[in-house]
Chains A and B, each alone.
Chain A
Amino acid sequence: MSLGPVHGIRIEGTGIGGTRVDSESPGNPGDPIPMVKVRVHGVTFAYASRKVLSGVDIEIQKGDFLAVVGPNGSGKSTLLKVISGALRPIAGSVLVNGKEVTRTSHKTRAQVMAFLGQMEHTDFPFTALDVVLLGRYCHQKRFQKETPRDLSAARRAMELTQSSHLASRPIDSLSGGERQRVLIARALAQEPEILLLDEPTTFLDISSQVGILNLLKRLNEDYHMTIIAVFHDLNLASGYARKVLMLDAGRVYAFGSPAEVLTERNIQNVYKTRAIVQYHPTLGLPYVVFDPTEENPTAPTSHDKATGGTTETAEDLHIDPCGGIRSKQYWPQMRIHVVGGGGTATELLHALAAHGINTTIGVLNIGDSDWMTARSLKIGVIEAPPFSPIGREVERLEEVVLEADYTVVTEVPFGPGNLPNLLALRSALERSAMPKVGLIGDENTLSGRDWTEGLATSVYRDLITRGCRLFPDTNAALDYIRTVGLRKASRHCAI
């Protein structure tokens, strides 16, 4: 079931996503080739007296993959239906290829735009092939039977969506993923320029979701299909769309690239939910995590909770962001500093933040993954310029380590760039009476993480001989940190 060459989908000059001669060059040679596919201009829509869209203004370019996001009731599906021409706005207009959509016939619209709704059902036992051939309605005349062209378009659409083997199966006997493939095949059989999809993966399992979305991505990239899809899942929107439109109560809240739109502030303002946005380390895309310990969007952050001191909830258990379930213990107030980098401190930082401990980290280069984690957790960072060796920042590090109740060094590799961190730790130890530094690592050497030709290892050994503790893992470090805090608290009480 190979995809075949790109021109395989083209049929007599009107391929999927290809330039349609009759609709795009209506005989005005002076006009520039319109690159704007869809122009939504001041669209306002209301069901009865309830306003669902107000003054929506967007432009969607040819070949865009636009994700429409927003909370329930923000008007996502309505906007899609207005663009499709199924709903007529009470004010404003929608232009598709420069033509007002409500003034074109259903048939003409269907030749340009295919729509895939959320739930589609029929009580009649049509086969998958019957369904796909319905996509040819907009190209058929009333008196005509299916032409060979209709059949080949249906066949190609089914091959592209890998649904050919389902052709003779009744549509109601298919699984959710199979049915969605068949419905996308029907949409492709229309040979449209624009695909409109309303939550195309909502009822599917993860592998079907990814399968459908990869298919859409391929249609967008290889066949230049313009895609406008409503997404419920912000991460899927971020991973697949080129542009994101965020709606809030029927208005455009943000419109731009995923990175521009899917920010913590936007999500918090629109969804009224605290979200953590990070950049995926390998894909470079924003991804959104919702804090599962967050119960009330207006509640203070974990930092504020800690300073409150007595805001312990009645819950005995909570799910911590690192994925494990840990009993909720009393954690005294203290200051912890972390020396990490490259993502080695992620787990520790989340745990410390979850327990409301006043944490700092550094020195880190700006843009380091631990730097991003710290930023998203609102943890203080001693930062150095991106991709440059750490320099004078270590002076600040030394001060912080001396002030902190405890300092933890994660299993970070050391190179010439961050070696100053280790050196600063050593000089801090030399200046303090008590060794308040712990090292995470299963050996007392830097096996495999020394990129300084032994320099870092010798400093590391030095730290251990000066009384630094070794923790086999993050949890061990956390347990020790707690005892440090408890000891400190009891000392305060004694005084």
Chain B
Amino acid sequence: MSRSMIGRQSVGKTSSTLIVVPLVVLLGITLILGMGLGSTRIPPMMVLKALFDQPEDPEMLSVKVGAMDLPYDQAVLIVRAVRLPRVLLAAVVGSALAMSGVAFQGVLANPMADPYVIGVSAGAALGATLGMILGFDRSLGGFSAVPAAAFAGSLAAMLGVYLIASAAGRGKASVMALLLAGISMSTILSAFVSLLMVLRRARLEKIFLWLMGGLSNADWRYLPTCAGYVIFAGTFLCLYSRDLNAMAFGEEVAGHLGVNPERAKGIVVFLASLMTAASVAVTGLIGFVGLLVPHITRFIVGPDNRRVLPASGLIGASLLVGADTIARTIMAPAEIPVGIITALIGGPFFLFLLYREKRVV
């Protein structure tokens, strides 16, 4: 009996590829669909062709779009210059928020935590708002202007929360102190954002749209920077997935199991915040991905963070690419902020999870 149980676990390697492969395929399909759909529809095969073929004789081909023909070079332009960076950014940001959500939920041993729980979002919002009002044009950490201000704001907020929580716990930032300090910091910073919005009504709409989050400004400029942060932090986070498993039982238990809870907490919070900050700096505040995707992922692969972290990265990427595609097409040619779509998908789904949870109990 026990042998077969553990035997099944030991073949876990094959079963994790069984999980990863479909998710990669799913992401690929979403990406291609995302590049094809929009105000101008491009069939999937043409998307692939536009992506990988060098157009030798552009005059030869044209894409039939409704009644009119879209010249092939124009399709290449749309796919390569407009939609490819957008879907890639959506994928990067989606996976960052999802993995960051997993990290925060694990390290805080709280399934209700999300990437914004310790004030990263509010810091980014205040930074971005100040940037927009003051016309900030410095560059910082690979970003410039408003994204740079948002990036700086979110890291400053994270650092502030961590220092306050550490001071409260005499050098040890307890989970509870982190949560409370994070909530307080978010409230204070959001109050400043509201104040600035009231004081500078001329910028109100711009600030408001930024706060709702979206990928409409996506281009090639910040994609490598953002992806760099996310890949770096995501890889390191995966190395701490076993620590996260232990931390899910509380930091005291984790400590007895051999985890250094203070160090693990510091590293995980920093990495998760870093990738969140790099994401929200470019896209603004996109809600619910970081809260929801970890739960969807656990539903599929179980609670082991060694699987949840990479899988949630793939699912988060697919989800945000899909949500952004809907945001672009549902009222085309107009575009609605993707945050609305994620909230409309995420909210009801979360209520469903809550309902299911209650029935189990």
Contact = CB atoms under 8 A, between A and B. Distances in A.
Contact of B250 (A109, A121, A159, A168): A121
B258 A164 contact: no
Contact of A145 (B13, B250, B252, B298): B13
Contacts of A137: 242-243, 246, 257-259
Contacts of B248: 122-124, 126
B109 A123 contact: yes
Q: Of A84, A106, A121, A168, which is in contact with the most chain B CB atoms at under 10 Å from its CB?
A: A106
B1 A165 contact: yes
A170 B152 CA distance: 42
Interface stretch (B4-12, B64-72, B73-81): B4-12
Contact of B5 (A110, A143, A164, A190): A164
Contact of A86 (B1, B6, B256, B303): B256
Contacts of A110: 256-258
B2 to A, nearest CB: 3
B245 interface: yes
B10 A130 contact: no
A126 B111 CA distance: 13
Given A117-B252, A124-B298, A168-B5, A190 B245 contact: no
Contact of A117 (B13, B239, B253): B253
Given A124-B298, A145-B13, A106 B255 contact: yes
Interface in A233-256: none
A186 B256 CA distance: 11
B3 A125 contact: no
Interface string A85-127: 0100000000000000000011101110111010011111111
B58 interface: no
B253 A164 contact: no
A117 B250 CA distance: 11
A134 B2 contact: no
Contact of B109 (A86, A122, A167): A122
Interface residues on B, range: 20 to 34
Contacts of B144: none
Interface residues of A, number: 44
B28 interface: no
Given A123-B109, A123-B111, A84 B256 contact: yes
Contacts, number: 99
A120 B109 contact: no
Contacts of B6: 129, 151, 154-155, 167
A190 B257 contact: yes
Contacts of B256: 84, 86, 110, 113-115, 117
A340 B258 CA distance: 60
A126 B258 contact: no
Interface in A372-404: none
A345 to B, nearest CB: 51
A452 interface: no
A165 B1 CA distance: 7
Given A117-B253, A121-B250, A155 B2 contact: yes
A143 B239 CA distance: 7
Interface in B159-173: none
Given A121-B250, A122-B249, A145-B13, A107 B5 contact: no
Q: Of B6, B109, B242, which is in contact with the most chain A CB atoms at under 10 Å from its CB?
A: B6
B184 interface: no
B137 interface: no
B257 A148 contact: no
B258 A111 contact: yes
A353 interface: no
B347 interface: no
Contacts of B243: 137
A125 B302 contact: yes
Contacts of B1: 164-165
10 tightest A-B contacts by CB?
A164-B2, A110-B258, A138-B258, A167-B5, A115-B256, A124-B303, A107-B258, A106-B260, A123-B111, A124-B248
Interface of A: 84, 86, 105-107, 109-111, 113-115, 117, 120-127, 129-130, 133-135, 137-138, 140, 142-143, 145-146, 148, 151, 154-155, 158-159, 164-165, 167-168, 186, 190
5 contacts: A106-B258, A106-B259, A122-B250, A130-B302, A143-B239
